[in-house]
Structure 1
Amino acid sequence: MRSLLTLCALALVLSGCVPPDDISGEATAAPSAATDSARLLGQLTEAKAGSMRGYSRDRFPHWRSTGKNCDVRDKVLERDGDNVRLSGCNVIAGKWYSEYDKRTVNDPSDMDIDHMVPLAEAWRSGASQWDDERRADFANDLTRPQLIAVSASSNRAKGDQDPSKWKPSNRDFWCTYAQDWITVKAFWRLTVTAAEKAALSDMLGTCPGTKP
């Protein structure tokens, strides 16, 4: 499910079928290869990390209501879990595989919903110039591969770091992680640092079919 979401979102960004200011609709385009991610990475604007002045998580309002006493967190837990049980539409049980650290988790309270591109990282790479409504769109983006259920411990270890400073301990996920990161940054027109770009390129080198 997650791989399909990544590939479809990447195809939409590359094709230009969905402009960056339009976050409505579902991704339905055909899958793209890792080479497309590398090409997209080369198109990202390279810049130094911006200032954290004025940053607060409150400037990225989340989690949005999705109706019936549910919110975006519930939606992601339901999407990413197996044998999920609901009370109303609140997730109360299930089983989750945390891609970051290969952990299997059976208690939803032990899972975090990670922002693939952390909110603080987005602020440093262009979101400081947005209004709060656009920042809320970013923080609640269910269409791009921006939200993923992972173990709380791995999410806390990641913090707000970019791939030059933190990578999942599960190297098998590096290809997807890099593709997801690039797709999100490209769609939202966020910049990358030189070190971040180099790290992403290295991670794409782990994708199947790429040369070592």
Structure 2
Amino acid sequence: MTPHRKNHPRNAAAAALVLALVPLTAAGPAGAAPTAPASSYEMYQLEDAISLLVEADEDRTGYTPAAFPHWNAGQDPGDLCDTGREVLLTEAVEAPDTSANCTLSGGRWHSYYDNQSTSSLRDLTVLHAVPLVEAWGSGARNWTAERREAYANDQGANGSLNVVLTRTARERGDQNINQWHPPADSALCRYAKDWVATKLRWGLTVDKNENEALKFLADNDPCESFWVIYRPAPA
């Protein structure tokens, strides 16, 4: 698979603004593309990935959390862990102990949204990269119930579900990327990357303000080295 790249002059003033917010994140040797995990994946620089998104008005009317059943039995029903606990196990930087009925104890996690680590499970939430109501308003309202459940429990893509501090999850709520970004400066480009990858993976649209916010981020140095790697979700 050949990675996609586009080069053009940058807006220096805008770059300076974002540089003040987000330190430049190294992604290997200059100009080097990451290696995609398999040929079935698509890989684009962030700017080019954003250009693939379809712009359309958002319609959140009729949304209810019940339209996205979660958490379900997860990838391995036999482990007695629901999707949320499976994500906690996958993202642990120090593995917790697991007892009957997937009760977790101990362990340690890092919330990239906050650039903070904690061993307190009660301080953590498994959060959708793109909020459920945002997905609904961007096309999921037209999906089957089964596809919405698959979206809400998606462990098939890195970044679809993230372990974050509960207080940060509450602050984010249902806000779009043009309304809110993670409190850690170092998280902004990764957050944009996860947002775009999720939208492309599931064929979701972006509204005008959202699209402009994404383009602004991608058009400046801190985020231009980031690559979006995704695989379309199963039909």
Question: Smaller-chain TM-score range?
Answer: 0.7 to 0.9
* Greater RCO, 1 or 2 (C-alpha within 8 Å, sep 6+): 2
**C-alpha separation in 1, matches of 2:45 and 2:39:** 8
Q: Could you tell me the TM-score, scaled by structure 1's length? A: 0.80
Could you tell me which residue of structure 2 aligns to residue 90 of structure 1? 103
Aligned-partner residue type, residue 87 of structure 1: S
Paired residue for 1:162, among 163, 167, 176? 176
Bigger radius of gyration among the two: 2
Shift of the 111–11 alpha-carbon distance from structure 1 to 2, 3 Å rule, reads farther
Could you tell me which residue of structure 2 aligns to residue 112 of structure 1? 125
* 1:207 maps onto 2:223 in alignment: yes
Q: Could you tell me the TM-score, scaled by structure 2's length? A: 0.72
Instruction: Determine what percentage of the aligned residue pairs are the same residue.
Output: 32
* 1:43 maps onto 2:52 in alignment: yes
**C-alpha separation in 2, matches of 1:9 and 1:47:** 31
**C-alpha separation in 2, matches of 1:64 and 1:100:** 25
Could you tell me which residue of structure 2 aligns to residue 24 of structure 1? none
Asked if the contact 2:115–2:186 (Cα under 8 Å) also holds between the matched residues in 1, the reply is no
**C-alpha separation in 2, matches of 1:180 and 1:64:** 22
**Secondary structure of the structure 2 residue equivalent to 1:135:** helix
Shift of the 52–39 alpha-carbon distance from structure 1 to 2, 3 Å rule, reads same
Aligned-partner residue type, residue 190 of structure 1: L
The size of the alignment, in residue pairs, is: 186
In structure 2, list runs of 5 or more residues that go unmatched. 1-26, 28-33, 227-235
Q: Considering only aligned residues, what root-mean-square deviation do their CA atoms show, in Å? A: 2.3
Q: What is the CA-CA distance between 1:209 and the residue it aligns to?
A: 4.3
Which consecutive segments of 4 or more residues in structure 1 shift more than 4 A? 6-13
Question: Can you list the C-alpha shifts for 1:85-143, whole angstroms capped at 9, x where unaligned?
Answer: 22243322211111111222111121000000100000010000011110000000001
Q: Which moved more, 1:77-86 or 1:55-64?
A: 77-86
**C-alpha separation in 1, matches of 2:132 and 2:189:** 22
In structure 1, list runs of 5 or more residues that go unmatched. 15-31
